[in-house]
Homo-oligomer: A and B are copies of this chain.
């Protein structure tokens, strides 16, 4: 995405932080490895094999090794990976060494749940500010944070050095909110509103849409239903299955 490839010239090799230029699919899996690694660290494991970690993360072990190989050789053959070292490396690559400040816009039904969620802080994200357009919500305190009016976004964003914006407003307001976020310099947006956002180049948008997830499940349900009409056996094998994200 917006990334030019120069096959012959690997983006100024030999620089200080190396900038590995990871495949997107790998980036999407690193957080899963990280979670599994934290769980292993908590249970006292010092090293883990690719097989063990792959199991814990629910992926193929070859895939895991290839993913990790992209960020350098941090494993020991015959032994495995040092859990704490690998955690450090992945967190470094993901840019989690610095705590990132998040602004949440739209403190409604969903916004409340997000604001009260402790899973952000534990992963190195700090919800730094809450915004809403509804005057009756402004001033409300949630989890130690006061809801501010969205007009204050510009000022607060700078004060709190916001780096990620989360949109939890109704869909019709989402584009306007995105524009405001972009205007104050936010270049990463997580969008919960069911709509496509148009943003300038250089701004990353990821979306979470529950209805889409359910519809995908519905399709597979539908397919399974039309399949059970004819095939041989419904022998209950115990192989496990998952769907790629």
Given contacts A17-B226, A164-B221, A188-B220, contact A114 B210 (CB under 8 A): yes
Cβ–Cβ contact A110 & B109, under 8 A: no
Tell me which of B58, B163, B243 contacts A221 (CB under 8 A).
B163
| A72 CA / B205 CA spacing, docked (Å) | 32
Residues of B within 8 A of A119 (CB): 194, 210-211
Cβ–Cβ contact B112 & A241, under 8 A: no
| A224 CA / B27 CA spacing, docked (Å) | 14
Binding site secondary structure of chain A: mixed
Please give the number of chain A residues whose Cβ is less than 8 angstroms from any Cβ of chain B in the complex: 88
| A124 CA / B221 CA spacing, docked (Å) | 14
Interface set of A (CB-CB < 8 Å, partner B):
1-2, 12, 17, 19, 22, 24, 27-28, 30-32, 34-36, 56-58, 93-96, 100, 102, 109-110, 112-114, 116-117, 119-120, 123-125, 163-164, 187-190, 194-227, 230, 234, 236-245
Looking across the interface, which residue of chain B has its beta carbon closest to that of A58?
Answer: B196
| A102 CA / B213 CA spacing, docked (Å) | 13
Looking across the interface, which residue of chain B has its beta carbon closest to that of A117?
Answer: B109
Q: Which 3 A-B pairs have the closest CB atoms?
A: A95-B222, A58-B196, A188-B217
Q: List 17 A-B contacts (CB under 8 A).
A: A1-B242, A19-B227, A28-B212, A31-B212, A57-B196, A94-B218, A95-B218, A96-B215, A110-B117, A123-B215, A201-B237, A201-B240, A203-B241, A204-B220, A206-B216, A208-B213, A245-B245
Residues of B within 8 A of A214 (CB): 100, 102, 120, 123, 125, 164, 190
| A240 CA / B112 CA spacing, docked (Å) | 30
Looking across the interface, which residue of chain B has its beta carbon closest to that of A163?
Answer: B221
Residues of B within 8 A of A28 (CB): 212, 216
Cβ–Cβ contact B206 & A217, under 8 A: yes
Residues of B within 8 A of A100 (CB): 214, 218, 221
Residues of B within 8 A of A19 (CB): 223, 226-227
Looking across the interface, which residue of chain B has its beta carbon closest to that of A225?
Answer: B95
